Amino acid sequence: MLQSIVTWIWITSGVLLVISVLLHSPKGDGMGGLAASGGSMFSSARSAEATLNRITWTLLATFLGLAVALSAGWLKGI
């Protein structure tokens, strides 16, 4: 039961990680311009980029940590 819940969290974090990476804009607006249409949620572009970086790194740590736990079989006994 716990392993299937953790697997779903792992899959969700992977999908969200892909989306957050696509939202980054290295030079131009890129895909990040889609999120900025309409009213601005952040006070500046720098604040938005810093928040997106934090979200991306958190998702990466979650994804990799769960990948290690699932592949090592640490959750099978629980």
Map out the domains of the chain as residue ranges: 43-78
The pLDDT of residue 54 is 95
Which residue has 């999908």 as its token pair? 15
The pLDDT of residue 39 is 53
- In terms of DSSP H, where are the helices of the chain? 2-23, 32-35, 45-72
Whole-prediction pTM value? 0.74
Q: What is the pLDDT of residues 13-69, one digit of tens each?
A: 999 999 999 998 776 555 556 555 555 555 677 888 889 999 999 999 999 999 999
Residue 8 has pLDDT above 80, yes or no: yes
Q: What is the rounded distance in angstroms from the CA atom of residue 72 to the CA atom of residue 63?
A: 14
Q: Are 5 and 66 in contact (CB under 8 A)?
A: no
